[in-house]
Structure 1
């Protein structure tokens, strides 16, 4: 089983520190969401993992081996900026890319047929890439990353610009690859999607890893929250309760954060004192909320 390891990687461009000791691993069969603001270091990390960029220090390993040319051939990479030939036909292009990865002509054609069918673009084999919609170009780019049956998948913003149906198709394919033991890392600004799909998540900010863990682990770091729907409650009804912070109040719905020493039963009693309580729900912050806190 294959593991992708990013070990204490540093990268600097002149006086700008792009990566500052970035470390994490993507385990066999794991979907790993790599999130951060624009310019945080996601793409630089991925390009170093692929071997397109060199690190100033630190190392990337796949199954304990540094990424050389032979190891690089085992990676499936999907860049954020499309890396396709716009005037070349889809079928010929995918077959050509498969042959570059070492497949025979017949195996390359078989792989092209398999992945274009799986991704719903089999009828576009004779179309040039620039004649396709953005969503179908994304599907062709994913097919290019999968065409050689890679041992590792590295995908930079694979869901960008996709409609819900295309998102479902791509999600299913990534799940299928992960089930075969392939480690899959992808970056995305769609944090609700990352929360739904990923086994673990890494948050990077200003070139440093700010948090790594399962979605539940990360959300648990944000503390417990209560959503209380009390139609007659006025703003400030919970502000005097020990250990309770009011995060928002609108139209009878109040969101509270429970700190140390907070008593949810005392909160309930205070809410009932204002009148009927229609909802009283203990929740955890979403990945989006946690991301805002971490990068801030």
Structure 2
């Protein structure tokens, strides 16, 4: 058996089809102990299908899911905390009764279940609704209870599908803090989200999924670096097309006087500045890396045959 720090959840070349529809095509990645892994992709890319296979809700056609080097079993899955994107709570059951019930299902004694239910309802700010039916809670508070349900049995792994959906900024901060605490305990956390600013802020590594395949997987910094360096020019009076024709320069975006440019090796940024100044004042002129949101848009919109390579789990380029 490996050390706690070496433990990892591995999704190894998992494929899944529904008739002629390919949901997953050789999906492969791992989530390491004490790591938050962001799992991102467009709607229908295969994120939820992957999570359901990890949980055993769906069976893979091929491939394997492993925890700590061994295939995931029913007993292993009982130690996973899962938060589905759709509400998975009993709407007419009271919050406290529901959390206690779920904890008991995972093997806790009655006393431990009651204690855990109280602890997590307080930690997540829904202790005042402990005796209320779930259906009477706001969507944000239902989301908090859903996370409590994933944590109440002291899981070894957390798998969270869109955990920040519908939360206000205060609740986002609370949930983020909880995830960091779990990671500090050595728990691997995987979560999917369309809120890429949160993914960029929270995650140690990020995997980008397209058409059921992992097409980019690395640290946020490595992924951003893979997009190359850009030049941001804010010239409020510059018309569209002002940078067209500049040697070694291609326009990646233009909006409200702000133009994002990609520079080829050897391109002269001073020539770009001179061209911008010729249109009027320049308020900002700076080199920068692509944001995760910009990189995501580029990766998921790239045709499979044109994509060529993806960033591997250690930063290397892989076919």
User: TM-score, with normalisation over the residues of structure 1?
Assistant: 0.95
1:283 and 2:288 correspond:
yes
Aligned to 1:158: 163
Q: Distance between the aligned counterparts of 1:250 and 1:130, measured in 2?
A: 43
CA distance in 1, matches of 2:167, 2:31: 25
Deviations 1:36-67 (A, max 9, x none): 11111000100111111111111000111111
Supply the distance in 2 between the matched residues of 1:172 and 1:181 (Cα, whole angstroms): 15
* Count of aligned pairs between the two proteins: 296
Q: Which aligned pairs between 1:173-212 and structure 2 lie closer than 5 A?
A: 173-212=178-217
CA contact (8 A) 1:224 1:259 kept: no
Whole-Å Cα distance in 2 between the matches of residues 218 and 204 of structure 1?
Answer: 13
Query: What is the DSSP-based 3-state SS (H/G/I as helix, E as strand, rest coil) of the residue aligned with 1:175?
Result: helix
Q: Specify every segment of 5 or more residues in structure 1 that has no aligned partner in the other structure, as ranges.
A: none
Which range is displaced more, 241-250 or 139-148?
A: 241-250
Give the equivalent residue in structure 2 for 1:48. 53
- Residue 228 of structure 2 is aligned to residue 223 of structure 1: yes
Please list, as runs of the form range in 1=range in 2, the aligned pairs for 1:1-296 lying within 5 A after superposition. Answer: 1=4, 2-296=7-301
Greater mean alpha carbon deviation, residues 31-40 or residues 283-292: 283-292
Q: Decide whether aligned partners of structure 1 residues 249 and 102 sit closer, same or farther in structure 2, where only a CA change above 3 A counts.
A: closer
Tell me how far 1:113 sits from its aligned partner. 1.0
Displacement of 1:252 in angstroms is: 3.8
Residues 251 and 23 (structure 1 numbering): CA distance in 2 closer, same or farther, change over 3 Å? closer
- Give TM-score scaled by structure 2 length: 0.89
- Report the Cα distance in structure 2 between the residues aligned to 1:233 and 1:139, rounded to whole angstroms: 47
Alpha-carbon offset, residue 276 of structure 1: 4.0
**Residues 143/237 of structure 1: CA separation in 2 closer, same or farther (3 Å cut):** same
Give the distance between the partners of 2:254 and 2:292, measured in 1 at CA.
21
Structure 2: gaps of 5 or more residues? 302-319
CA distances 1:153-202 after superposition (whole Å, capped 9, x unpaired): 00011111111111111111111111111110001111121111111111
Measure how far apart 1:215 and its partner are. Answer: 1.1
Q: Could you say if the C-alpha distance between residues 250 and 60 of structure 1 is closer, same or farther in structure 2, counting changes exceeding 3 Å? A: closer
Query: Could you list the per-position Cα deviations for residues 53-101 of structure 1 after superposition, in whole angstroms to 9, with x for gaps in the alignment?
Result: 1111110001111111111111000011111111111101101110111
| Secondary structure, aligned partner of 2:26 | strand
Aligned residues of 1:224 and 1:283 also touching (Cα < 8 A): yes
How far is 1:247 from its partner?
2.8
Cα distance between partner residues in 2 of 1:148 and 1:39: 30
Q: Which moved more, 1:218-227 or 1:14-23?
A: 218-227
